Every structure is written in C-alpha cells, then in structure tokens.
Amino acid sequence: MTNRIWGPLLLSALLGAAWGCDNQVAYSSNQVVEPEPAACQIGDEIPCDCEGIDVEGVRTCLDGDVFGPCACPDPPGRPALVARPSRVEVGELEVGQQVEVEVSIVNVGDAGSSFSMRVEGGRAFGLASSAQGALAPGESMQVVVLFSPLEPIGYESTLVVEDVSGRSGVSVPLSGRGVSLEACAFIEPGSVDFGRVEIGQRASTMISIFNCGQRPLEVEMALPAPAFPFQVSSAERFEVGAGEVALLEVSFAPVEDGRFAALLVLRTSDPAQPVVQIPIVGQAFTLGRCPVAVAGARVQGQGGPFEPSVEIQGTGTIELDGSASFDPNSMRMGVAAYEWAILERPLSSSARLSPSSSAVAPSLFVDVPGRYTIELQVIDEEGRPSCEGALVEVFARPDGGLSVELTWVTPEDPIQDDDRSGDLDLHLLYPDGRWGTRPGDCFWRNASPDWGQRGETSDDPRLEEDALARGPERISIEAPEPVLYRVGVHYGRDNGFGPSIAAVRIFMGEVLVYEALDKVLTDPMFWEVAVVDWGRVRIEPVDEVFPDLP
C-alpha cells in the first residue's frame, strides 16, 4: 500500500483490513476478530508479523487458552517539506551590494527528513548556509539566501529543497533586480551585421543606449577609419538622462563590391564599462552576380514535380531537391556547393537531413506532426553565396485531432489530492471568442460548446476532465478546423494554499508537439499559453500572464 499524497495517511479512513498479524487475527477500522483458542500461560508473549513494516509485533496470552490481538507499531510516516514564504522577491539592490533573505523550511509530515538544498539558475543568488539539513516532524529551520547583483538587470533563480529519499521537496522562486546609483550604460546590440546589401541600396539599424543608473550618462562616439560606407546619425558627444534611452541609427550604403568592416567606439561615464566597442560588418553585391537557389520537395513514393510547399498525412519521408539552382555568371550555369538548413520544426521533433546538409537532393524524415521550414543556400565557384535562400515548407498533418492537457501542483498544500487544494482551470478559445464567456470559450462552465458547423460534433471541443486538484484537465477536438485556437489557464481558487505551479501539454493526434512547464501562478492570475494554428499545423508560444481573466 502506497501513500501517494503529501502528508500522513489516515488509516481510519480505510474500510478493509489495514494492518494484520499472521493468519489468526485481522484489524479493521472498528472491530477486532478474535484468534483461534490456544493453550498458553497468562502473560506469555509471542512474536507476530506486521504487514507493511519491518518490525515485529507481539501477542499476549490473556486467560490461559486465548491470545489477545497482535500489537503492531504504528505504520511508518513520511516527511512533507514546505517553504515560507513560498516566493522571495528581493526588489532592487545596488550593484556590488549584498542582502540576506531568510526562508523557513518546515517539515509538516509525520516522519523525519534529511534534505539537500541548491540554487538553480542565475548568478546573483546563492546559499549562505550549509547545503544540507535535517528536520524532525513539526520542526523548522531558517535558510539564508544571498542576493548579490553583478549588473543592473533583473535576476530570477529557484531555491530547490529535496528530501534525500525523494519523497518530498519544495521549490521557491527567487527574483531581484540590480540597480546602479552611478551612471550606467546598457547598450544593445553588441554587434551589427548588415548581411548582403545590393550596391546603390541603403540598409539601416538602431543601436540603443539605455542609462540604467541614477546619474546622467555621458557618451563620446568615434567611428575610426575605415568607416566608409558606414555612417552613424548622431553628434560625437551627447548625454543620456537617468532612465532614458538614446538611439543611434547606423547605416550601410555600399557603392562597390566587397566585404566591409568597421569598429564603432563609445566612451561612456559608466565606471563599469568606460569603453564599448561595437563591430559593424556588411557585404556588398551587384544584382545578378550572385548564384540563385531553387529548391523543391515532394512526398517519397508519390512522384510528381518538386514543389515549394507540400503536405503529408502523419509521418513519412520528404524528398528535397536543389538541382535546379544556377549561377548566371557561369558558362556551365551550375553551382559549386549546396547548404541546406532546417529553420523551423515542432519542438518535439528530432528530424535531420540525410545523408547530409550539403547534398544536392537530401531527404527529411518527418517524425511528428507540425510545420517544417527548410532553406537552401548555394555557393558559386568564386565562393559567393546566393543573394537569397530558397524556402521549402512541409505541413505534416496529424492522424488524430487536437488535445490540450493541464496539470499542476500546489506546494503549500500537504494533501494534494483532496478537493481543497489549489484549483486551476483549462481554457480553449475559438476565433473571435472572449475568455470566460460562452460560446467562444470552452472551460468548466462551457464544457461542450457547438463550434464550427452547427450540429456537427466532430469539430466541437469537449472538456473531458475537470479536476479540482493537480489535474489533469483535458480539452479535445476530434476534427479541428483550419483556424487559430488559443490556450489559456486561469487560477480559479487557491483555498488558502497560495501559488500553484502549472504545466500545459499540446498533442496533435497522439504526439506531444509542445509543452510549457513550471509556470508559477497565484489566485486569480490568467496565463495565455500558446496559439494553435491548425491550418498551418503550427504552435505559436505566447506565455503571457494577466492579473485576472483578460
């Protein structure tokens, strides 16, 4: 018998025999079955086995011919670790300073716990105390977490506490932000690559300089030779106020073939980075001189021409072909090399090009439903790449329908499986629908709306399970329409147990194509997870949290 909940198992709730000793006596919640008569001396004790635990019980002779019930020790308990507070938000702290925050770890179970602690993610948070601990039932200890920001940015980490037996654990999200009381320069991007630009054309981009400090930021700019054909539209000296942003427009306007490079130097009053160097590069070309990539695809075994877009039902092999690519400057018209790359595929796909990405006509095994985008670049005999890549799109349509699943845990609830835990609700929104409103939102109050063709049930969603604790909750559509469905999660009620940690998984047919894990939500937050583009067989992550139903 296994206790699958957090906290002690209440044996009085069991209806059948819970703990027994040999074959002569049995226990239930409200009666004792007398053993068979046996001759004995009053007060004599004999051992008896106790099911489910390693220690022996004893039976005592009562009146010379009858032994009493077997006295078995209480069943073993289990630890249950919780953290208070369940989330630590340090707020702002000056860069270079350090602050200590205490987190109380409490064992609310009925067995002792030996545990380990660690901080995952981020460089600013750490432990000031030992990474090991032990707590008897009902005991608590203070864990000291250090926050030492290295840069004026936001930090997020997680304090992880795990019982060595693996029977209990708790995670505490940590967040804080470093600030600078001096002038502070946050400059991005750190480099500029214009790629290939046709002669006579002009390309431009922006470099932002954000003053993340409390004093004005002084900037002196220099673009040393060779700077042509690059230009920067700004004064050589300027000032950025606290909390303000300055934008530098950098342009590339080539007048001759070749590859160009320059170094933009910014001298600032930020003591942490007085000199910032930003490399700038660009490639100029004359239209018509670069090779031309031509690519197509078809489903293996179906024959026919190679097309820039193909569909396949389920899984299978896609044949790719780039042999129609050409070089307009070559008498032979051919190209010297081929470079294929998979630009987009479903998150759970491990598809690879075979036999290699440099073959003229490789193949691709489509292993999960979804959208695949493959690009071909070609290179001529002089080493010039194609001006533009040729794109091929593959739409692998699932053999089954759409299914969305929600699960969650509520760390501060010691009994996760009862009806009083944190209650989260799964939502699936139809185009033009509103969250929490019939008929466009499928959720617990609208479990089987009529979408699509009226009266046809195959294109309608159905809330298959509405769980009150942990989940799973699941919404399925047998035959989805080629429209955009939106997936969301609402924290309906925490029942006093605080934050819950949610996970959403999206299936096409029986295949997991997308998952979003470990999202911490509090009552009454709403989490918009993703958009399901069934027409293009594509999942577009959203991952946006609102204070309540938007």
At 287 the pLDDT is: 66
Domains of the chain: 81-179 (2.60.40.10), 185-285 (2.60.40.10), 296-397 (2.60.40.10), 402-546 (2.60.60)
Instruction: Quickly state the pLDDT bin for 332 (edges 50, 70, 90).
Output: low
Residue 34 has pLDDT above 80, yes or no: no
The Cα 144–Cα 131 span in angstroms is 10
Identify the burial level of 402 via C-beta atoms within 10 angstroms of its C-beta, where 0-12 means exposed, 13-18 middle and 19 or more buried. Answer: buried
Instruction: Quickly state the pLDDT bin for 75 (edges 50, 70, 90).
Output: low
Residue 166 has pLDDT above 90, yes or no: no
Burial 379-401 (b: 16+ CB within 10 A, else e): bbeeebbbbebbebbbbbebeeb
Residue 302, C-beta contacts closer than 8 angstroms, at least 6 positions apart: none
Q: In the 8-state DSSP scheme, what is residue 172?
A: E
Residue 280 has pLDDT above 60, yes or no: yes
Report which of 197, 195, 190, 176 is spatially closest to residue 119, judged by C-alpha positions. 176
At 11 the pLDDT is: 34
Degrees (nearest 5) of the Cα angle 412, 417, 423? 65
Residue 248: Cβ within 10 Å count: 19
Joined together, the tokens standing for residue 309 give 């877009």
At 73 the pLDDT is: 66
Mean pLDDT (whole number) for 131-145 = 91
pLDDT tens per residue, range 428-441: 999 999 999 999 99
Residue 4 has pLDDT above 60, yes or no: no
pLDDT tens per residue, range 446-503: 999 999 998 899 999 999 877 777 889 999 999 999 999 999 999 998 988 999 999 9
CA distances to 237, 391, 394, 541 from 370, in Å: 52, 16, 8, 14
Rg (CA), the chain: 33
Cis peptide before 472 (omega within 30 of 0): yes
Report which of 211, 208, 254, 212 is spatially closest to residue 231, judged by C-alpha positions. 254
Residue 255: Cβ within 10 Å count: 9
- Greatest mean pLDDT among 282-286, 468-472, 506-510: 506-510
